[in-house]
């Protein structure tokens, strides 16, 4: 019978074997690539990837993300008028002890359901052929309530999405970069798609709650358990630093003296081509494609959601610097420029050596 120490040793060996077979972590992959380019060019490339990841702004504090709403409370006697619309149960739900402690996601879900019921009640009362005095008084109050809830709805949806702890985790700093060929993150992207659908309800007429609204917490679980966004916000600035500094090294080497001369290809050119094929084309390019695919979808969805809703001032600034895919000074456009520059400098040095790969 194996002792506990033997079992621990066996488990450790298995863990090491699994680690050895796993794809390299993003930071290690980038550092190895820059090191190999540096060696073959004989130009120093100094990286500080953790510092690069900390350069992007932190998500604004919760107090700067929340939008104020008008708190509407009906008196006990007045509430009973809603019985004719079948709304007593949904009103009681909010006034219960649990209803008063709703999390942002639950409050958003409630407000969407309440507004849908309210608009149905309003339509029902306005369709009365000959309302009596009591009904006319209720219709007047109903119009006022409808106006306030209509005004509140975009803020309620914003708060439900961006004032939640789960969504905050998507923007957290300090998470590891993507690994090469990491598993798909479809659950987060699907959840963002549903949040986008809710954002479109903010100005919809009529508001129709989707069938999956009662299962909205599944989306928040995906946001909390899969740190796709946070890892992307680590990966992009790291990549920008590596691509820019590697491109600078290539450009510096070309400015010193030609890497290859006409009719003469030195042995070091073959070493450069090997680095290009094995590490740039074999690892970095697939990594860039992975980040491009996941990153564009995640950022664009947030950009669209924030454009549909009344973002607070602090979040408008954050959107331009971090989330927007079109803002000139934003993170995504910095990344796009770094990719183009890096690609061009590789083309320049390989072209000088007449080693540019031919396109099929």
**What are the pLDDT digits (tens) for 216-230?**
999 999 999 999 999
At which residue do the structure tokens 């009906």 appear? 74
pLDDT digits (tens, 9 = 90+) for 129-187: 998 998 999 999 999 999 999 999 999 999 999 999 999 999 999 999 999 887 667 89
What value does the mean pLDDT take over residues 81-94? Answer: 87
pLDDT digits (tens, 9 = 90+) for 299-316: 999 999 999 999 999 999
How many other β-carbons are positioned within 10 Å of the β-carbon of residue 248? 15
């Amino acid at each position: 019978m194996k002792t506990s120490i033997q079992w621990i040793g066996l488990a450790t060996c298995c863990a090491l074997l699994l680690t050895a077979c796993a794809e390299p972590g993003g930071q290690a992959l980038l550092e190895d690539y820059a090191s190999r380019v540096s060696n073959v060019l004989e130009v120093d490339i100094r990286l500080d990837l953790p510092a690069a990841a900390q350069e992007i702004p932190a998500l604004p504090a919760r107090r700067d993300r929340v939008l104020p709403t008008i708190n509407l409370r009906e008196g006990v006697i007045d509430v009973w008028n809603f019985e004719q619309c079948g709304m007593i149960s949904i009103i009681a739900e909010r006034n219960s002890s649990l209803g008063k402690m709703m999390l942002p996601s639950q409050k958003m879900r409630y407000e969407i359901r309440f507004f849908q019921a309210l608009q149905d009640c309003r339509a029902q009362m306005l369709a009365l052929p000959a309302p009596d005095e009591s009904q006319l008084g209720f219709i007047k109050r109903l119009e006022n309530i409808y106006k306030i809830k209509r005004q509140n709805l975009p803020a309620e949806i914003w708060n439900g999405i961006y004032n939640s702890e789960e969504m905050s985790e998507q923007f957290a700093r300090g998470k590891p970069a993507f690994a090469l060929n990491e598993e798909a993150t479809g659950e987060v992207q699907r959840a963002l798609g549903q949040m986008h659908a809710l954002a479109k309800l903010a100005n919809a007429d009529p508001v129709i709650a989707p069938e999956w609204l009662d299962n909205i917490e599944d989306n928040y679980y995906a946001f909390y358990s899969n740190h796709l966004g946070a890892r992307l916000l680590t990966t992009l600035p790291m990549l920008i630093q590596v691509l820019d500094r590697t491109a600078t090294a290539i450009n510096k080497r070309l400015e010193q003296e030609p890497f290859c001369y006409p009719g003469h290809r030195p042995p070091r050119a073959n070493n450069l081509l090997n680095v290009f094929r094995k590490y740039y084309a074999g690892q970095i390019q697939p990594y860039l494609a992975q980040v491009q695919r996941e990153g564009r979808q995640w950022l664009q969805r947030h950009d669209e959601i924030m454009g549909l809703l009344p973002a607070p001032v602090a979040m408008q600034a954050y959107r331009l610097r971090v989330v927007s895919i079109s803002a000139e000074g934003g993170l995504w456009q910095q990344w796009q420029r770094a990719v183009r520059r890096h690609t061009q400098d590789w083309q320049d040095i390989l072209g000088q050596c007449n080693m540019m790969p031919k396109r099929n």
